[in-house]
Amino acid sequence: MESLAASKVRQQTAEDFLPLQGTDYVEFYVGNAKQAAHFYKTAFGFQSLAYAGPETGMKDRASYAIRQNKLTFVFTTALRTGNPIADHVYKHGDGVKILALRVDDATSAWEETTKRGGQSYMQPLKMEDATGQVVMSGIHTYGDTVHLFIERKDYNGPFLPGYKKWETPYYNPTDTGLLYVDHCVGNVGWNQMNKWVKFYEEVLGFRNILTFDDNDISTEYSALMSKVMSNGNGFVKFPINEPAEGKKKSQVEEYLEFYDGEGCQHVALATNNIVETVTELRRRGVDFLQVPTTYYDDLLDRVGQIDEDLAPLKELGILVDRDEEGYLLQIFTKPVEDRPTLFFEIIQRKGARSFGKGNFKALFEAIEREQELRGNL
Ligand code: FE2
């Protein structure tokens, strides 16, 4: 007999006009895709997957797809000036362009979302090669960011039609235990959060599952507000941040200024062993935000018993928070480009489905110390 939970999921899916199977890939527009792909392979443990460029018939760009478990990243660069990819990089620097979502039916996804007010980025497009077929469509979201809907039921190629398998003969560092995208956060402008909450509710059928206001998220200097949007089955979660008034410039304002508009602030990557993952990432040169070691003095009083030893958490700067359902461990990288814009979160969930509210203050104070060093506070 079907379990209660399974029946609930089935019912929700039946009512869901946009059933999503999860994140298909994240595509970054960057100044130098060849070097970016090398950095993510070497530092984060991704493996070479596929390449598209002039050699495969793509005349205006070069794209490198890399993979680690269920995580697929694509780095795309323009080969000439005067096109949307070059313009995107000129304006925003390196950043997330596409948050691609896996669907059963990309045509229906496009029809349902554009019917509800979504602005079309790409009409359903059928692409084929000898290994099968992919249907793709897409709509715009905040800033210049885009959601593509990817239907790849019977496709057996390395990544997408137009790409060829990319093999690198040199030693590729092993993976670091990163598994899949846990959530992607968008930074939007002043008073724009509710507009985008409404967009995710009405156009994509998401629900607002958590809200943080400036009382939850404020330090002495800066504040922000955040609402977490989730799709029906909970596989896709998009928190939306907007700046709030504070004594000094908030991290969201700094982002908006340097990204020159709204965009993806961070992508959270899941692991089943955060201590091993972060040890390896640090060893390979990934920089993380550091909270003061006093954070750990009363940690166990705040979060109760945890499976992990305190010493490695303290040494690595991993944060812990608990909610009604369990706890989570998390840590944030510094921005991964010279502009203070996109960064990554590494997260291990042990029952908790929340986002580490208990860590916001310590975390934002750590971010402010970095902002201060940049002269942007
Ligand atoms: Fe996050």
Write the CATH number for 42. Answer: 3.10.180.10
CA of 312 to the centre of ligand 1 (A): 22
Q: Do 339 and 238 have their domain in common? A: yes
Domain membership of residue 33 (yes or no) is: yes
Q: Do 228 and 370 have their domain in common? A: yes
CA of 78 to the centre of ligand 1 (A): 30
CA of 50 to the centre of ligand 1 (A): 28
Q: Do 196 and 226 have their domain in common? A: yes
Which pLDDT belongs to residue 254? 94
Q: Which residues of the chain have pLDDT under 50?
A: none
In the chain, beta strands by DSSP E: 20-29, 47-52, 61-68, 71-78, 95-103, 120-129, 132-140, 146-151, 164-165, 178-187, 207-212, 223-230, 237-244, 263-271, 319-323, 326-332, 343-350
Instruction: Please tell me the pTM assigned to this model.
Output: 0.94
CA of 185 to the centre of ligand 1 (A): 6
CA of 319 to the centre of ligand 1 (A): 12
CA of 340 to the centre of ligand 1 (A): 16
Which of 100, 135, 165 finishes a domain? Answer: 165
Q: Do 316 and 211 have their domain in common? A: yes
Give the structural domain span for 49: 19-165
Q: Do 136 and 185 have their domain in common? A: no
Domain membership of residue 7 (yes or no) is: no
Domain membership of residue 183 (yes or no) is: yes
CA of 111 to the centre of ligand 1 (A): 30
CA of 216 to the centre of ligand 1 (A): 15
CA of 2 to the centre of ligand 1 (A): 33
CA of 1 to the centre of ligand 1 (A): 37
CA dihedral (28, 329, 187, 280) positive or negative: negative
CA of 277 to the centre of ligand 1 (A): 17
Which of 165, 191, 219 finishes a domain? Answer: 165
Which pLDDT belongs to residue 361? 82
Q: Do 100 and 37 have their domain in common? A: yes
Among 34, 41, 318, residue whose Cα is nearest residue 176: 41
Which of 165, 189, 221 finishes a domain? Answer: 165
Q: Do 131 and 274 have their domain in common? A: no
Which pLDDT belongs to residue 365? 84
Q: Do 253 and 336 have their domain in common? A: yes
Q: Do 102 and 187 have their domain in common? A: no
Q: Do 205 and 345 have their domain in common? A: yes
Q: Model confidence over 19-67: pLDDT tens digits?
A: 999 999 999 999 999 999 999 999 999 999 999 999 999 999 999 999 9
